[in-house]
Amino acid sequence: MTDVTNASRTYLMDLQKFSWHPELLGKFNIPLKCLPKILNNSDDFGSVQKGPLKGIPITGCLGDQHAAALGHGLLESGQAKNTYGTGSFLIVNVGENVVHVPGLISTLCYKLGKNQAPVYGIEVIKNLSY
């Protein structure tokens, strides 16, 4: 399994259907059966299998920049956040509709539940690795 934010960053997920994009899979000769099931960020991902947390349910999963954006309260359209690490990542909450801007990455900020509206973003990435 994977979540919608990580799946969206492969550029193989249909941002509006939250499923793998059949046309793109065909172009790259990627069999659907080798890809994980896409879940919302707050779905049931199973449980911890070993160690002191064994049996604890895993009910949340987000990509790193997306988790940072949600954790810092990027809840309203127009809000932006910059994350620094191996790169510099500026993500802007654009609301409940996909926005395409030339030169920027359209992405899913988060989709917290089956009946919750998706929240989309646009992102600028600058690789800081040398």
Residue 46 to residue 1: CA distance in whole angstroms: 9
pLDDT at 124 over 90: no
Is-contact 75 69, C-beta < 8 A? no
Q: Which residues, 6+ apart, have CB-to-CB distance to 14 below 8 Å? A: 20, 21
pLDDT at 130 over 90: no
Q: How does residue 128 score in pLDDT terms, banded at 50, 70 and 90?
A: low
Structure tokens at 76: 């309203």
| H, E, C per residue of 4-25 | HHHHHCCCCEECCCCEECHHHH
pLDDT-above-70 percentage for the chain: 96
Residue 20 to residue 7: CA distance in whole angstroms: 8
Number of domains in the chain: 1
- How long, in residues, is the chain? 130
Residue 85 to residue 68: CA distance in whole angstroms: 12
Q: Which helix (DSSP H) or strand (DSSP E) does residue 69 occupy?
A: helix 64-71
**Residue 13 belongs to domain spanning:** 2-127
pTM for this entry? 0.86
pLDDT tens digits for range 75-104: 999 999 998 877 788 999 999 999 999 888
